[in-house]
A and B are shown apart, each in its own frame.
Chain A
Amino acid sequence: MSQPCAIVGIGQTKHKKRRDDVSLPGLVREAAQRALDDAALTWTDIDAVVLGKAPDPFEGVMMPELSMADALGAAGKPILRVHTAGSVGGSTAIVASNLIRTGRHERVLTVAYEKQAEGNAQWGLAGGRSGGMGAGGIFAPWMQKFIARTGSPAHIGPMVAVKDRRNAAKNPYAHLQMPDLTVEEVLDSPMLWDPIHWHESCPSSDGACAMVMTTETLAAQAPRPPAWVLATAMRSELGMFPGRDPVRPQAGVECAHAVFETAGITNPLEQIDVSEIYVPFSWYEPMWLEGHDLVGHGEAWKLIESGDTNLGGKFPVNPSGGVLSSNPIGASGMLRFAEAANQVRGMAGEHQVEGATVAYGQAYGGAAQYFAMWVVGATQDAVQRKL
Chain B
Amino acid sequence: MSSHDIAIVGYAQSPSWERAELTEVQFLFPVIADAIAMANIDRRDIGFTCAGSCDYLSGQTFAFVSNLEAVGAWPPISESHVEMDGAWALYEAWVALQHGDIDVALAFGSGKSSPGDPMQIYPLQMDPYTLTPLGADPTSLAALQARALLDSGRITEREMAEVAARNRADAVGNPAAQVSGEVDVDALLATPYVTAPLRAHDLPPFSDGACAVIMATADKARDLSDNPVWIRGIDHRIEIHQPGMRDLRESPSTAAAGKAAGVGDGPVDLAELSVAYTHQERILTGALGLGDGVKVNPSGGPLTANPMMATGLSRIAEAARAIQRGDGKRAVAHATSGQPLQQNLVCVLEGEK
Contacts and interface: CB of A to CB of B under 8 A. Distances in A.
Interface of A: 1-2, 23-24, 54-63, 65-70, 74-85, 91, 94-95, 98-99, 101-104, 124-125, 127, 233-239, 241, 243-244, 249-251, 254-255, 366-367, 369
A82 B82 contact: yes
Contact of A58 (B61, B127, B337): B61
Interface in B107-151: 121-122, 124-129, 131-132
B64 interface: yes
B235 interface: yes
Contacts of A55: 55, 61-62
B100 to A, nearest CB: 5
A61 B128 contact: yes
A80 B126 contact: no
A246 to B, nearest CB: 13
A92 to B, nearest CB: 9
B78 interface: yes
Given A99-B95, A236-B79, A238-B68, A63 B337 contact: yes
B76 A66 contact: no
A98 B95 contact: yes
B190 interface: no
B91 interface: yes
B4 interface: yes
B81 A104 contact: no
A328 to B, nearest CB: 16
A349 B96 CA distance: 35
A61 B238 contact: no
B76 A83 contact: no
A103 B83 contact: no
Given A70-B240, A234-B78, A234-B79, 12 more contacts: A56-B54, A60-B124, A63-B125, A63-B337, A75-B240, A77-B237, A77-B238, A78-B238, A81-B83, A127-B60, A127-B61, A233-B78
The interface size bin for chain B is 35 or more
A78 B237 contact: yes
Contacts of A235: 76-79
Q: What secondary structure prevails in chain A residues at the interface with B?
A: loop
A237 B76 contact: yes
A238 B74 CA distance: 7
Nearest to A106: B1
A366 to B, nearest CB: 5
B84 A102 contact: no
A142 B62 CA distance: 20
Nearest to B64: A83
A231 B61 CA distance: 30
Interface string B321-342: 0000000000000000111001
Contact of A74 (B65, B131, B238): B238
Contacts of A70: 240-242
Nearest to B132: A61
B34 interface: no
A313 B349 CA distance: 56
Contacts of B253: 76
A66 B337 contact: yes
Nearest to B342: A66
B42 interface: no
B190 to A, nearest CB: 36
A62 B82 contact: no
A82 B80 contact: yes
A125 B61 contact: yes
